[in-house]
Amino acid sequence: MTLATLSDVLKPAMKNGYAVGGLVCLGWEDARAYVAAAEAEGAPVILQAGPGCRAHTPLPVLGAMFRNLAENARVPVVAHLDHGYTIEECRTAIESGFTSVMFDGSRLSLSENIDMTSGIVEMAKRSGVSSEGEIGFVGYSNGEQSLGTDPQEAAQFARQTKVDAMAISVGNVHLQQNHDADLDRERIAAIQSVTDVPLVIHGGSGVPPKIRAQLAHNTAICKFNIGTQLRMAFGQALRDSLAIDVEQFDRVEILKATEPLMTEAARAIIRSMALPQV
């Protein structure tokens, strides 16, 4: 059994200068492809259930799916709730077998964010589950604008909440389709100078692969969330598979055909974070 918590995989990453992929899942086929990719690269992987995934599939189903994949994998696999917005949602994830929960209070005031996140951290720890919080709102491509993380607020947030990982806003945005995010190296340095918590970049699809590797080697960033890049790969794989056999109508066969390309896409992402063999 290789089911792991977020702390299990991020502590070694931070110590040894690499990052772990938080790969956003939307179904069985892509989750299975991500685990296959991690095994091929000899790397840990974080399977993430975001709001879009949860709107389609209930948390108890996702928890059982992630745990099944983890228990049969040869590498550490984390079952992670991404962008939980309520205490109840985080509680349901824990009860459903998730080993890590992320509470997103970045739209709240600093004091409200600290209070809410602290309560969820305590709840998670009682069940042996890791926690991630967010300080500084990370915006969306062609949508809400990011609000950069204030280093002193980050220090206070990390100290008072005792999160296992902290997502920060340093020029990264969600749903970015091109690799042209301009991250603020000075802000990253300022944040890591006042806290020793592993740092997380949401919207990692927009960060150029070479920059991911550099940041993994040289900063406290040891988790990149990747969703858009993988969804784009799935869309292309699906179109390609349908073009090959235009008469195919079996849902299982259609989706199975996307797995090899999804596995290769995930392997490339994992390699971009300069992961060593585990």
- Angle (CA) 245-261-81 rounded to 5° is 120
Give the ranges where 180-257 is alpha helix by DSSP (H). Answer: 185-193, 209-218, 228-244, 251-256
Structure tokens at 20: 């772990």
Q: Within a 10 A sphere around the Cβ of 52, how many other Cβ atoms?
A: 14
| Phi, psi (deg, nearest 5) at residue 210 | -65, -35
Instruction: Output the CA torsion sign for 19, 56, 92, 39.
Output: negative
Nearest-angstrom CA–CA distance, 255 and 28: 9
Residue 16's closest CA among 185, 186, 198, 194? Answer: 198
Nearest-angstrom CA–CA distance, 39 and 44: 8
Catalytic residue (one of 8, 30, 82, 250): 82
Q: Is 182 a catalytic residue?
A: no
Residues that are catalytic = 82
